[in-house]
Amino acid sequence: MSEAQEGMFGVSGTGDTSGYGGLVRTVANPGSTERPYGGYFDQLADDLERAYPDFADAITKVVVDRGELTLHVKKERLVEVAKVLRDKLLFEMCMGVSGVHYPERTGCELVALYPLLSMTKNQRVRLEVCTSEVDPHIPSLVEVYGGNNWHERETFDMFGIIFDGHPGLTRILMPDDWDGHPQRKDYPLGGIAVEYKGATTPAPQNRRSYK
Amino acid sequence: MGLEDKLPSGVLLSTVEGLAGYMRKSSVWPATFGLACCAIEMMALGSSPKHDISRFGMERFSASPRQADLMIVAGRVSQKMAPVLRQIYDQMTAPKWVISMGACASSGGMFNNYAIVQGVDHVVPVDIYLPGCPPRPEQLMDAIIKLHEVIGDTKLGPNREAVIKAVEEAALKAKPTIQLGNLPHEGMFA
Amino acid sequence: MTQQEARFDPYAATRETTEGTVYSVTGGDWDSLVSEIGEAKEERIIVNMGPQHPSTHGVLRLVLELEGETVTEVRPGIGYLHTGIEKNMEYRSWTQGTTFATRMDYLSPIFNETAYCLAIEKLLGITNDIPERASIIRVLMMELNRISSHMVALGTGALELGAMGPMFFAFREREAVLDTFEAITGLRMNMAYVRPGGVQQDLPEGMTVRLRELVKELRKNFKDNERLLVGNTIWMKRTEGIGYLDLAGCTTLGITGPVLRSTGLPWDLRKMQPYCGYENYEFDVITADTCDVYGRFLIRMAELEQSLRIIEQAIDKLDATHGQPVMVADKKIAWPAQLALGADGLGNSLDHIREIMGSSMESLIHHFKLVTEGFRVPAGQAYAAVESPRGELAAHIVSDGGTKPYRVHFREPSFNNLQSTSAMSEGGMVADIIGAVASIDPVMGGVDR
pLDDT the model gives residue C23? 65
pLDDT the model gives residue B154? 85
- % of chain C surpassing 90 pLDDT: 37
Q: Among C273, C380, C448, select the one facing A66 at the smallest CB separation.
A: C380
Q: Decide if pLDDT at C387 tops 90.
A: yes
pLDDT the model gives residue C40? 57
Instruction: Tell me the mean pLDDT in the region B148-171.
Output: 88
**H helix or E strand, kind and range, residue C299:** helix C293-320
Long-range contacts of B184-190 (CB under 8 A, 24+ apart): B186/A198, B188/A198, B188/A199, B189/A198, B189/A199, B189/A200, B190/A199, B190/A200
pLDDT the model gives residue B95? 87
pLDDT the model gives residue C141? 94
Q: Which residues of B touch A175 (CB under 8 A)?
A: 79-80
Report the alpha-carbon distance of residue C119 to residue C407 in Å, rounded. Answer: 12
**Beta-carbon contacts of residue C114 (< 8 Å; ≥ 6 apart):** C138, C142, C194, C276, C386
Q: Decide if pLDDT at A175 tops 80.
A: yes
Instruction: Tell me the mean pLDDT in the region C432-438.
Output: 89
Subunits in contact with chain A (3 or more CB pairs closer than 8 Å): B, C
Cβ atoms of A154 and A171 within 8 Å: the answer is no
- Nearest chain C Cα distance for residue B152, angstroms: 29
pLDDT the model gives residue C4? 43
Instruction: Tell me the mean pLDDT in the region C427-443.
Output: 88
Subunits in contact with chain C (3 or more CB pairs closer than 8 Å): A, B
pLDDT tens per residue, range B51-96: 888 888 888 888 888 999 899 999 899 988 999 899 999 999 988 9
pLDDT the model gives residue A25? 76
Q: Among C88, C381, C411, select the one facing A189 at the smallest CB separation.
A: C88
Angle at CA C405, nearest 5°, toward C403 and C410? 150
Instruction: Tell me the mean pLDDT in the region C399-406.
Output: 89
pLDDT tens per residue, range C272-321: 999 988 999 999 999 988 888 999 999 999 999 999 999 999 999 999 98
Report the alpha-carbon distance of residue C413 to residue C91 in Å, rounded. Answer: 25
What is the predicted ipTM? 0.87
Q: Which residues of A touch C78 (CB under 8 A)?
A: 150, 172-173
Cβ atoms of C395 and C203 within 8 Å: the answer is no
Choice among A191-200, B107-116, C74-83, C417-426 with the minimum mean pLDDT: A191-200
Q: Measured in Å, how far apart are chain A's first and last C-alpha atoms?
A: 38
Q: Which residues of A touch B183 (CB under 8 A)?
A: 198-199
CB contact under 8 A, C188 and B39: no
pLDDT tens per residue, range C268-285: 999 999 998 899 999 999
Distances (CA, A) of C46 to A145, C56, C62, C426: 29, 17, 10, 14
pLDDT the model gives residue C31? 65
C1 — pLDDT class (breaks 50, 70, 90): very low
pLDDT the model gives residue C34? 65
Q: Which residues of C touch A170 (CB under 8 A)?
A: none
- Nearest chain C Cα distance for residue A72, angstroms: 13
Report the alpha-carbon distance of residue B86 to residue B94 in Å, rounded. Answer: 15
Q: Which of A26, A29, A116, A125 to mutate to test the interface with C (most CBs of C within 10 A)?
A: A29
CB contact under 8 A, C54 and B63: yes
pLDDT tens per residue, range C104-136: 999 999 999 999 999 999 999 888 888 999 999
Chain pair A-B, CB pairs under 8 angstroms: 54
Q: Which residues of B touch C89 (CB under 8 A)?
A: none
pLDDT the model gives residue A3? 64
Sign of the dihedral defined by the CA atoms of residues A128, A131, A133, A135, in that order: negative
Specify which of A24-38, A194-208, C141-155 reaches the highest per-range mean pLDDT: C141-155
**Beta-carbon contacts of residue A172 (< 8 Å; ≥ 6 apart):** A150, A153, A154, A157, C78, C79
pLDDT the model gives residue C37? 61
Report pTM.
Answer: 0.88
pLDDT tens per residue, range C22-58: 766 555 556 666 666 666 556 778 888 888 777 667 8
